[in-house]
Amino acid sequence: MTPLALAEDYIFAHDLRSASAKIYLAATKALIKNFGPVIEATEIDHRSILAWRKKVLENGLSKRSWNTYSNHLRTIWGYGIEHGILTGVTANPFKKTTVIPPKRASKTVAGDAIQKARRWLESLADSERYTGERSRITPAWFWLATFEMFYYTGIRLNALLCLRLQDIDWDRQLILVRGDTEKTHREFYVPIMDGLAPHILRMLTEAKHAGFSPGDQLFNVNRFSRHYKRQEMNIDQIEAMYRKLTEKLGVRMTPHRFRHTLATDLMRQPERNIHLTKSLLNHSNIATTMGYIEADYDHMRSVLHERSLAQGAVQRVRRVDYSGAPSSSAAPHHEEQRQPPEKLLIENAQGIACQTPETRIVPAGSEHPGHLSIIDSSTPTPPPEHLFEPTMLFSLLASQIRPAALGGKGGMHADAFAARASP
């Protein structure tokens, strides 16, 4: 059996969306382009796939595109092996042929960019309403509703194009997304939020005036403006609108980026409900949802700070003072110098100061509680007094050493003491 015949058999045996079927066929055609149209599927082995991979990657194919080929062809070959179509083949030649792609750039859209886009669309809608003249994105009210639909629901582009008038349950404030439009083949509902409701109501009102039937495509700009001649709205028209937004604002916007943005924003909420996010995006597993959520470093910093507070670690880190101003409680013989903010002083678990070179502690009471406080100094500073509690023995020894060290006759000589003290 040829690779193309195997791919067609797989598509026939599965309930795939047309878009998914095209991806499987595209991967198969890429394989045929490399191995030739007459090669049998059973003749392709693991090493030949690795050689193909090396060739296409060196010729500039992205690692993500290669992984798409590898994953889809592995699925097709797995189907052939499982059902005995590829006789004599026991190991899938595409197993472990994917590569590690580079990290994707951020796919979220900043909140201020979304606000600017919304205000621009609102201004276009107001201009059309009051002047009657066609705006750059027309009809602006329709494209504003489309924009808000993607923002509030994170719905897939294909799912929005497949929404019918009958899929809007206005009484229950729900939108039905049918399973045959989804990758997961599962139908689900999306709630109509307060911010989205006026736009959906406008859409329903305009659709009624235009004589829509229950089964008609709801988000169909061609039915709401005489400037369009198509029967149904397609992906190209939506992408053209988002290109204009991108050109206007200088920030790339797409419906799929709104899905990533929604997932990330939901996980920044106090509840951080991953299951809610998974349900809203209609993912089949949480791992897919986690791939949509970008790291929130502000939240990460806050959580780590809370941990240090709970464990008392933050009390051992004091604020750095770079003002150079003398402290009232500082010892008079120490000179303070300004240094770049490069050094930190942290006390270890035994309470002993671990001090980096050319640093000293700001005296107690001169800093705010809970902050780091270090002043760089070229003059070494003795350890804080509270770290030493002289014992009676130490005091007696010190009293005997002092006269001898000063040349007196009483007491033990310093050299003798040092000799006795040494092990």
Task: Tell me if residue 89 falls in helix, strand or coil.
Answer: coil
Tracing tokens 């008609």 back to the chain, one arrives at: 216
- Catalytic: 252? no
Residue 398 sits in the same domain as residue 268: no
Over residues 348-370, mean pLDDT? 45
Domain count, the chain: 4
Domain boundary among 241, 259, 292: 292
422 or 168, higher pLDDT:
168
Residue 123 sits in the same domain as residue 271: yes
181 or 240, higher pLDDT:
240
Cα–Cα dist 215/213, whole Å: 5
Residue 46 sits in the same domain as residue 179: no
pLDDT recorded at residue 15: 85
What tokens does 179 get? 């399973």
| Under 8 Å between Cβ of 219 and 160 | yes
Residue 25 sits in the same domain as residue 165: no
pLDDT 10s digits, 127-152:
999 999 999 999 999 999 999 999 99
382 exposure class (CB count in 10 Å sphere: 0-12, 13-18, 19+): exposed
277 or 161, higher pLDDT:
161
- Catalytic: 183? yes
Residue 189 sits in the same domain as residue 259: yes
Of 10, 242, 292, 318, the catalytic one is 292
Residue 130 lies in a domain: yes
What letters, b where the CB count within 10 A reaches 16 and e where it falls short, cover 58-68?
Answer: eeeeeeeebbb
Residue 312 lies in a domain: yes
Of 53, 72, 74, 156, the catalytic one is 156
Instruction: Return the CATH number at 280.
Output: 1.10.443.10
Q: What are phi and psi of 317, to 5 degrees?
A: -120, 120
In which domain, by residue range, is 404 found? 392-421
Kindly give the residue spans of alpha helices, DSSP state H, lying in 154-196. 157-161
Of 260, 283, 318, 360, the catalytic one is 283
Residue 177 sits in the same domain as residue 242: yes
- Catalytic: 334? no
Residue 218 lies in a domain: yes
- Catalytic: 343? no
Residue 339 sits in the same domain as residue 227: no
| Residue 385 reports pLDDT greater than 80 | no
Over residues 276-287, mean pLDDT? 78
- Where does the pLDDT of residue 418 fall: very low under 50, low under 70, confident under 90, or very high at 90 and above? very low
Residue 103 lies in a domain: no
| Residue 353 reports pLDDT greater than 80 | no
Domain boundary among 257, 292, 327: 292
Residue 263 sits in the same domain as residue 160: yes
Domain boundary among 225, 260, 292: 292
Concatenate the DSSP letters of all residues of 9-42 into one string: HHHHHS---HHHHHHHHHHHHHHHHHH-TT--GG
Residue 102 lies in a domain: no
Residue 249 sits in the same domain as residue 373: no
Cis amide prior to 139 (ω within 30 degrees): yes
- Where does the pLDDT of residue 324 fall: very low under 50, low under 70, confident under 90, or very high at 90 and above? low
- Catalytic: 63? no
Least confident piece of the model among 154-158, 323-327, 380-384: 380-384
pLDDT 10s digits, 51-92:
999 999 999 999 999 999 999 999 999 999 999 999 999 999
- Where does the pLDDT of residue 111 fall: very low under 50, low under 70, confident under 90, or very high at 90 and above? very high
pLDDT recorded at residue 369: 46
Please name which of 117, 100, 101, 99 lies closest in space to residue 109, comparing C-alpha atoms: 117
Least confident piece of the model among 38-42, 133-137, 242-246, 368-372: 368-372
Cα–Cα dist 25/349, whole Å: 63
| Residue 378 reports pLDDT greater than 80 | no
Q: What are phi and psi of 361, to 5 degrees?
A: -85, 140
Residue 385 sits in the same domain as residue 402: no
Residue 399 lies in a domain: yes
Of 183, 316, 319, 343, the catalytic one is 183
* Percent over 90 (pLDDT), the chain: 53
- Where does the pLDDT of residue 399 fall: very low under 50, low under 70, confident under 90, or very high at 90 and above? low
Q: What is the pTM of this model?
A: 0.59
Residue 170 CB partners (closer than 8 Å, separation 6+)? 192, 200, 201, 204
Residue 280 sits in the same domain as residue 319: no
Residue 280 sits in the same domain as residue 385: no
- Catalytic: 185? no
Residue 376 lies in a domain: yes
Residue 114 CB partners (closer than 8 Å, separation 6+)? 151, 261
Average pLDDT over all residues of the chain: 80
pLDDT recorded at residue 59: 96
Residue 95 lies in a domain: no
| Under 8 Å between Cβ of 281 and 292 | yes
pLDDT recorded at residue 341: 45
